[in-house]
């Protein structure tokens, strides 16, 4: 009889990490440790969010390159000024 591999054993999905050095205010580090905060995870999440935001801004900036160079169909309208 052939032995089957247990399909319930989880496969490792752990992401390889890179050690880096950052400089932080020592008081912040102490307070974070007292609160049980994971500085590495907080930093990683903040970087992911910032990169996502910057990438989406680049995409929206690239989209503006498709605007036509012609005059506006309503040249009398100016943003920020009330119309009389």
pLDDT in tens, 3-48: 556 666 666 677 788 999 999 999 999 999 999 999 999 999 999 9
* Domain containing residue 48: 37-64
Q: What one-character DSSP code corresponds to residue 66?
A: G
Model-level pTM greater than 0.85? no
Structural domain total, the chain: 1
In this prediction, residue 70 carries a pLDDT of 63
Task: Let me know if residue 74 belongs to a domain.
Answer: no
Mean pLDDT of the 36-61 span: 90
Task: Let me know if residue 83 belongs to a domain.
Answer: no
Which DSSP string do the residues of 4-65 spell out, in sequence order? Answer: PP-TTSPPP-PPP---------HHHHHHHHHTT--HHHHHHHHHHHHHHHHHHHHHHHHHGG
- Six token digits for residue 58: 């680049």
Query: Quick one: CA dihedral 10, 15, 20, 24, positive or negative?
Result: negative
Token pair 């054993």 is at which residue? 9
Inter-residue contact 43 to 22 (CB < 8 Å): yes
């Amino acid at each position: 009889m052939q032995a089957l591999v247990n399909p319930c054993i989880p496969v490792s999905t752990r992401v390889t990490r890179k050690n880096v050095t950052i400089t932080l205010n020592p008081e912040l580090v102490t307070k974070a440790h007292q609160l049980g905060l994971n500085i590495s995870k907080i930093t990683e999440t903040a970087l992911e969010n910032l990169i996502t935001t910057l990438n989406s801004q680049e995409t929206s900036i690239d989209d503006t390159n498709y605007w036509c160079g012609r005059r506006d169909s309503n040249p009398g309208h100016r943003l920020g000024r009330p119309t009389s």
